[in-house]
């Protein structure tokens, strides 16, 4: 498994596509931060426009600064800024889907998997790819956070990050949730063995994860008699740091999400995927 | 006898279609096992199952005959390459993935071996089919496999390429003792390297035999090219040989009595006949294959 992982790292270095995706993610996050800044810079004008159009003041919901690493579309609007940044920013999960499509899938699509099949089982290949997804999720989240932080510095001349533990919680949670989606995408592509339907299903799935996570939060609340699993309530990641009262609850929730998804994907792999012919 | 690959009742079913039907293969260590069959006979499916790319519906496969699991190099159907990477990078990925103790220099040696050293740093996307095929053979050889499983390895190669691949396979088998399981439509080419044959027809193994047995069962005749066929026929009949065919004004095929070839030649010369050619000709593997599968169909 170690040698296969090393081979994939070598391929990542040579093919450059993972690096390009990270650069695009960084660039788009800068753009997202910029647009966010512009919106806040024009707050009175937007406020007036919204009041005229919809009859309410969106800023009344609060104007928290959002580092915005959301991974789902079902985010309750807290401010126009959040709304716009959510709308403009290409979802981090989509970068992960692209990574899976252009980097992980070619092993099967190109047929290179045939060269490895006699030495490495499908399960071993699956777990190496799970590991790569986990690592890449952390990289994507960190790169996006760095870009947003830079734009914060430029736009607001400051970086209201809060405490380091909160920031780390925020990053770890976001990465775990992004990775959970990646596992689903990986399993779908392995299952369908075709790229386009797998990607289409994955994108549809991105829009279904919020209610699923919400349900899991409800289960957690039911069993722990606590009601502060709110990461699913407002957003999967956006404003997480500001809304969740306890960092461990947040991380626990994210761990629960990834554990459930990883469990399902691994089960599906063992029951179905690994028994399928490669070609 | 030491078999490195055996299958027992190997069967593969795709919904209603039985692609491979209760096949019992026996591949000796160090043999070049040629799988012969028409399109859809089940050759590729068997090779895929041997390579671990497909699972049998029923039956079993045993690979190896000792405690160490033999390493397998595979080339099945289209060459499996990362086209955006160079030939050398593809080789390195395989080498690293196998955890091979070989140095990167070994990858270059293998490229040299298949005649691609000058293209080592060129992206595979620009390669011709023949070049990709050669690179796939080099990939199959990476990690020093004990068994090579090759499905139509000379497909798409020009005559020089076919010759090169044949030479490479012969060297691998004879000098390095590699066991090779190979399928090809080009039966005459296959007959130049294979030492054992498995003949498949509609998913079933209709015959499994060594080169010698196959050669002995192939129809053969002695071909004479002479200046006077009438006189030659008289000589043959005087020797009690009546099983012959006159093919043209100067050519006679004697269908039996190969052991008496020299005697026939001597008698013809003594009778004053000018003999321009006298040789035992065997039917091709293709003719043999057509005959045996036709027999099976009847």
Residue B81 forms contact with A (CB below 8 Å) = yes
The pLDDT assigned to A237 comes to 36
CB contact under 8 A, A114 and B82: no
Chain-centre distance for alpha carbon B42: 16
* Of the candidate ranges A10-19, A24-33, A171-180, the one whose mean pLDDT is the lowest: A171-180
Nearest-Cα distance to chain A for B165, in Å, is 19
Asked whether residue B294 is assigned to any structural domain, the reply reads no
Q: Where residue B273 sits, what CATH number does that domain have?
A: 3.30.70.100
Question: Same domain, yes or no, for B17 and B143?
Answer: yes
Q: Where are the domains of chain A?
A: 2-274
CB contact under 8 A, B53 and A14: no
Please tell me which residue, A224 or A118, carries the higher pLDDT value: A118
Residue B218 forms contact with A (CB below 8 Å) = no
CB contact under 8 A, B77 and A118: no
The pLDDT assigned to A238 comes to 36
Q: Inform me whether the pLDDT recorded for B68 exceeds 80.
A: no
Question: Same domain, yes or no, for B131 and B270?
Answer: no
Q: Exposed, middle or buried: residue A166 (CB in 10 Å: 0-12, 13-18, 19+)?
A: middle
Please tell me which residue, A54 or A58, carries the higher pLDDT value: A54
Question: Same domain, yes or no, for B154 and B235?
Answer: no
Question: Same domain, yes or no, for B227 and B196?
Answer: no
Question: Same domain, yes or no, for B80 and B96?
Answer: yes
Helix (H) or strand (E) segment spanning residue A119: none
- Considering only the beta carbons, identify the residue of B84, B92, B97 that sits closest to A116: B97
Residue B92 forms contact with A (CB below 8 Å) = yes
The pLDDT assigned to A20 comes to 94
| Segment B196-214, tens digit of pLDDT | 888 888 888 888 877 777 7
Q: How many cross-chain Cβ pairs, A to B, lie less than 8 Å apart?
A: 84
Q: Inform me whether the pLDDT recorded for B246 exceeds 60.
A: yes
Please count the structural domains in chain B: 2
* Contacts A112 to B, Cβ<8 Å: 80-82, 90, 93
| Segment B120-148, tens digit of pLDDT | 889 988 888 888 888 888 888 888 888 88
Q: Inform me whether the pLDDT recorded for A136 exceeds 90.
A: yes
* Contacts B19 to A, Cβ<8 Å: none
The pLDDT assigned to A133 comes to 93
- What is the mean pLDDT of the segment spanning A220-245? 45
- Considering only the beta carbons, identify the residue of A15, A110, A120 that sits closest to B80: A110
What's the CA gap between B245 and B259, in Å, rounded? 18
Give the mean pLDDT of chain B: 83
Contact A214, A257 (CB under 8 A): no
* Contacts A114 to B, Cβ<8 Å: 51, 53, 74, 76, 80
Nearest-Cα distance to chain A for B76, in Å, is 8
Q: Which of A17, A118, A276 to mutate to test the interface with B (most CBs of B within 10 A)?
A: A118
Q: Computed over its alpha carbons, how large is the radius of gyration of chain A?
A: 20
Contact B139, B113 (CB under 8 A): no
CB contact under 8 A, B73 and A118: yes
Asked whether residue B291 is assigned to any structural domain, the reply reads no
Q: Computed over its alpha carbons, how large is the radius of gyration of chain B?
A: 24
Q: Inform me whether the pLDDT recorded for A252 exceeds 50.
A: yes
What's the CA gap between B281 and B286, in Å, rounded? 14
Question: Same domain, yes or no, for B170 and B247?
Answer: no
Nearest-Cα distance to chain A for B275, in Å, is 56
* Contacts B52 to A, Cβ<8 Å: 117-118
Domain boundary among B185, B215, B245: B215
CB contact under 8 A, A113 and B74: no
Residue A12 forms contact with B (CB below 8 Å) = no
Tokens linked to A137: 């999720």
Range of the domain at B95: 3-215
**Listed ranges A71-85, A222-236, B111-125; the one with the highest mean pLDDT:** B111-125
Question: Same domain, yes or no, for B115 and B257?
Answer: no
Left (φ > 0), alpha (ψ -120 to 50) or beta: where does B40 sit?
A: left
Asked whether residue B158 is assigned to any structural domain, the reply reads yes
Asked whether residue B297 is assigned to any structural domain, the reply reads no
Q: Where residue B150 sits, what CATH number does that domain have?
A: 3.40.50.300
Helix (H) or strand (E) segment spanning residue B63: strand B58-63
Q: Inform me whether the pLDDT recorded for B260 exceeds 60.
A: yes
Q: Hey, CA dihedral for B136, B137, B139, B145, is it positive or negative?
A: positive
Ordered DSSP codes for B98-148? TT----HHHHHHHHHHTT-GGGTTSBGGG--HHHHHHHHHHHHHTT--SEE
Ordered DSSP codes for B224-290? EEES-HHHHHHHHHHTT---EEE-SSSEEEE-S-GGGHHHHHHHHHHTT--EEEEEEEEPPHHHHHH
Q: Inform me whether the pLDDT recorded for A232 exceeds 50.
A: no
| Segment B266-298, tens digit of pLDDT | 889 998 989 998 888 777 677 777 766 665 554
* Of the candidate ranges A94-103, A249-258, B247-256, the one whose mean pLDDT is the lowest: A249-258
Asked whether residue B296 is assigned to any structural domain, the reply reads no
| Segment A144-197, tens digit of pLDDT | 878 877 777 776 666 655 566 666 776 777 787 778 878 888 888 877 777 676
The pLDDT assigned to A160 comes to 58
Residue A15 forms contact with B (CB below 8 Å) = yes
Asked whether residue B9 is assigned to any structural domain, the reply reads yes
Nearest-Cα distance to chain B for A99, in Å, is 15
Percent of chain B's residues with pLDDT above 90: 6
CB contact under 8 A, A11 and B80: no
Residue B58 forms contact with A (CB below 8 Å) = no
Please tell me which residue, A205 or A86, carries the higher pLDDT value: A205
Residue A120 forms contact with B (CB below 8 Å) = yes
Q: Inform me whether the pLDDT recorded for A248 exceeds 50.
A: yes
Q: Inform me whether the pLDDT recorded for B167 exceeds 60.
A: yes
Residue in chain A nearest B148 by alpha carbon: A118
Asked whether residue B239 is assigned to any structural domain, the reply reads yes
């Amino acid at each position: 498994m170690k040698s296969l992982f090393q081979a994939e790292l070598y391929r990542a270095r040579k093919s450059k596509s993972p690096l390009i995706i990270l650069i695009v993610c960084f660039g788009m996050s800068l753009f997202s931060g910029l647009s966010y800044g512009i919106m806040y810079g024009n707050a009175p004008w937007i406020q007036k426009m919204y009041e005229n159009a919809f009859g309410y003041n969106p800023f009344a919901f609060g104007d928290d600064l959002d580092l915005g690493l959301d991974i789902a579309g079902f985010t309750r609007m807290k401010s126009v800024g959040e709304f716009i940044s959510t709308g403009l920013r290409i979802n981090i999960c989509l970068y992960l889907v692209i990574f899976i499509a252009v980097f992980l899938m070619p092993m099967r699509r190109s047929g290179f998997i045939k060269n490895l099949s006699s030495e490495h089982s499908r399960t071993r290949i699956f777990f190496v790819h799970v590991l790569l997804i986990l690592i890449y999720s952390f990289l994507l989240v960190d790169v996006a956070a760095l870009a947003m932080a830079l734009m914060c510095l430029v736009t607001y001349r400051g970086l209201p990050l809060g405490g380091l533990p909160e920031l780390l919680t925020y990053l770890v949670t976001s990465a775990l949730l992004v990775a959970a989606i990646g596992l689903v995408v990986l399993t779908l592509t392995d299952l369908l063995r075709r790229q386009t339907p797998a990607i289409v299903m994955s994108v549809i799935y991105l829009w279904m994860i919020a209610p699923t996570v919400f349900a899991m939060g409800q289960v957690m609340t039911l069993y722990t008699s606590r009601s502060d699993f709110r990461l699913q309530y407002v957003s999967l990641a956006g404003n997480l740091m500001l809304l969740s009262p306890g960092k461990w609850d947040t991380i626990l929730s994210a761990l629960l999400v990834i554990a459930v998804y990883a469990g399902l994907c691994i089960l599906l792999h063992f029951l179905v995927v690994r028994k399928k012919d490669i070609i | 006898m030491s078999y490195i690959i055996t299958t027992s009742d190997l069967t593969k079913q795709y919904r209603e279609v039985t692609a491979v039907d209760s096949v019992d293969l026996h591949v000796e260590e160090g043999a070049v096992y040629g799988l012969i069959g028409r399109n859809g006979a089940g050759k590729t499916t068997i090779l895929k199952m041997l390579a671990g790319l497909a699972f049998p519906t029923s039956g079993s496969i045993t690979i190896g005959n000792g405690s160490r699991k033999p390493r397998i190099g595979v080339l099945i159907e289209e060459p499996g390459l990362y086209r955006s990477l160079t030939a050398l990078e593809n080789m390195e990925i395989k080498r690293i993935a196998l955890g091979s103790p070989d140095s990167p220099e070994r990858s270059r040696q293998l490229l040299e071996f298949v005649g691609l050293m000058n293209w080592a740093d060129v992206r595979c996307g620009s390669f011709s089919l023949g070049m990709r095929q050669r690179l796939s053979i080099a990939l199959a050889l990476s990690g020093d496999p004990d068994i090579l499983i090759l499905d139509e390895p000379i497909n798409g190669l020009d005559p020089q390429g076919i010759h090169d691949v044949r030479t490479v396979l012969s060297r691998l088998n004879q000098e390095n003792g590699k066991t090779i399981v190979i399928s090809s439509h080009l039966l005459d080419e296959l007959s130049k390297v294979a030492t054992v044959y498995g003949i498949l027809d509609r998913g079933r193994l209709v015959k499994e035999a060594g080169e010698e047995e196959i050669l002995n069962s192939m129809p053969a005749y002695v071909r004479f090219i002479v200046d006077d066929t009438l006189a030659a026929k008289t000589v043959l009949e005087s020797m009690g040989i009546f099983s012959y065919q006159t093919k043209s004004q100067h050519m006679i095929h004697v269908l039996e009595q190969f052991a008496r070839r020299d005697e026939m030649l001597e008698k013809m010369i003594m009778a004053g006949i000018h003999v321009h050619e006298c040789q035992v000709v065997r039917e091709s593997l293709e003719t043999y294959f057509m005959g045996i599968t036709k027999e099976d169909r009847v």
